[in-house]
Copies of this chain bind each other. A is one copy, B any other.
Amino acid sequence: MAEAQRRKARRVPRRTGWTRDPDGVRRNILDVARSEFARKGLSGARVDEIAALTSTSKRMIYYYFGDKQRLYVAVLEEAYQSIRTFETGLSLDALPADEALARLVGASVDYHTAHPDFVRLVMVENIHDAQHLRRSAKIHDLNLTALARVRDLYGRGVASGVFRAGLDPLDIFLTLSALAFYNVSNRATIREVLHHDMAEAAACMARRAAIIDTVLAMVRPR
């Protein structure tokens, strides 16, 4: 056929001098994809645009990840693994319970502030009803340690008398998560509706202190 011949006749110039680096290529794709999915959502992000922003080509995205959805899931899984690593890395056991809690809350605020992409990915995933999270075996096994950590901390604080008894550790965890998360997730609408820019350094620090204060006030004996 004429078409087959036309294809055969095409001369393809090759690039030389590249080093074989599968992990690097995957890394590069994942980094770009994370940013794009976080910025525009799953359906808003464009495979062609992600490809254009990588140092490789669309071809390799499909080579390594199969399709757009699986790329998204890979990004999501990595994001959750990162925050888990962060959580595990905090050493709180040496501190008194109240100081440890203050540090945990502060660290949580800082992590969210420093990783807006993570926050946005979680928003995107919530819009999609967490259906990708649900199907991901990797994340199901992840079993966030954060709640267990709060449970321990709270138990310690009650025992030593610095926290009041009768609280559900889940409420403490949800409160600190909510405050740290919302602070980043709703920055844009807060800016437009309240004319207040949480990205500004002074506002950021003040809010951080207020959040720590609030969580401590919640657990303090009355």
Which residues of A come within 8 Å of B, CB atoms? 39-44, 80, 120, 122-130, 133-134, 139-140, 142, 144, 147, 167-168, 170-171, 174-175, 177-179, 181-183, 185-194, 196, 206-207, 210-211, 213-214, 217-218, 220, 222
| Residues of B contacting A183 in the complex (Cβ-Cβ under 8 angstroms) | 174, 178
**Can you identify 26 A-B contacts, CB atoms within 8 angstroms?**
A41-B44, A41-B127, A43-B43, A43-B44, A123-B123, A123-B126, A123-B185, A124-B127, A125-B188, A128-B188, A130-B188, A139-B192, A139-B193, A144-B193, A167-B210, A168-B210, A171-B210, A174-B182, A174-B210, A175-B179, A177-B182, A178-B178, A178-B186, A181-B182, A217-B218, A220-B222
How far is B193's CA from A123's CA once the two chains are assembled, in angstroms? Answer: 14
- Chain A at the B interface: mostly helix, strand, loop or mixed? helix
Is B188 within 8 A of A126, CB to CB? yes
Cβ of A189 to closest chain B Cβ, rounded Å: 5
Number of copies: 2
How far is B206's CA from A206's CA once the two chains are assembled, in angstroms? Answer: 30
Is B185 within 8 A of A185, CB to CB? yes
How far is B123's CA from A171's CA once the two chains are assembled, in angstroms? Answer: 23
| Residues of B contacting A133 in the complex (Cβ-Cβ under 8 angstroms) | 188-189, 192-193
| Residues of B contacting A147 in the complex (Cβ-Cβ under 8 angstroms) | 194
Considering the complex, give the chain B residue whose CB is closest to the CB of A186: B126
| Residues of B contacting A190 in the complex (Cβ-Cβ under 8 angstroms) | 174
How far is B127's CA from A128's CA once the two chains are assembled, in angstroms? Answer: 13
Is A194 within 8 A of B43, CB to CB? no
How far is B41's CA from A125's CA once the two chains are assembled, in angstroms? Answer: 11
